[in-house]
Amino acid sequence: SQEGMRCSDGIHGDGRCYSPDNGSASNQTDLSPESIPTTLQVDIDCQPGSGYYGPSCLPCRCLHDGICRDGRQGDGWCLCAVNYSGLHCEQCAAGRFGATCDQTCPICPSPLVCDEGIDGSGSCIARRPRRSTTVSRVLI
């Protein structure tokens, strides 16, 4: 039985788990996903390069070929490819536009700015008003 077994970090499905109590080994012959104990599955999924991170083995959410800091010690932070930015590399980097953010904005005469971003046209347009995230309070 694999009940109570804990697999060492770095096990990659070779079927050998070690008991936390006495260190004895147990062979596991069926390596189908349904038969692998949850602890072994988490260890396999949470290796660096797996696309999963942290103690809870959460899936990385990097888009557009962003590289995730994954593995059990990872934090899921995304290192974006050169043309992308954002928490999950979901938007174009500053000065880029187009569906794949591969086009460079022109230099626009002030007060115009480039219509940048994934949905941007690259045209020089009037600055879009920013949405306020502050709350105003009126004192009486």
The pLDDT score that the predictor gives to residue 127 is: 83
pLDDT interval class at 51 (50, 70, 90)? very high
Q: How does pLDDT run across 96-128, given as a tens digit for each residue? A: 999 999 999 999 999 999 999 999 999 999 987
For residue 20, pLDDT over 50 is answered with no
Q: Which pLDDT tens digit goes with each residue over 34-44?
A: 544 455 454 55
Mean pLDDT of 4-23: 47
The pTM (predicted TM-score) of the whole model is 0.57
The H or E element spanning position 59 is strand 58-59
The encoded tokens of residue 117 equal 């971003």
**56-65 LR contacts (CB < 8 Å, sep 24+):** 61/88, 62/88, 62/89, 63/88, 63/89, 63/90, 64/89, 64/90, 64/100, 64/101, 65/89
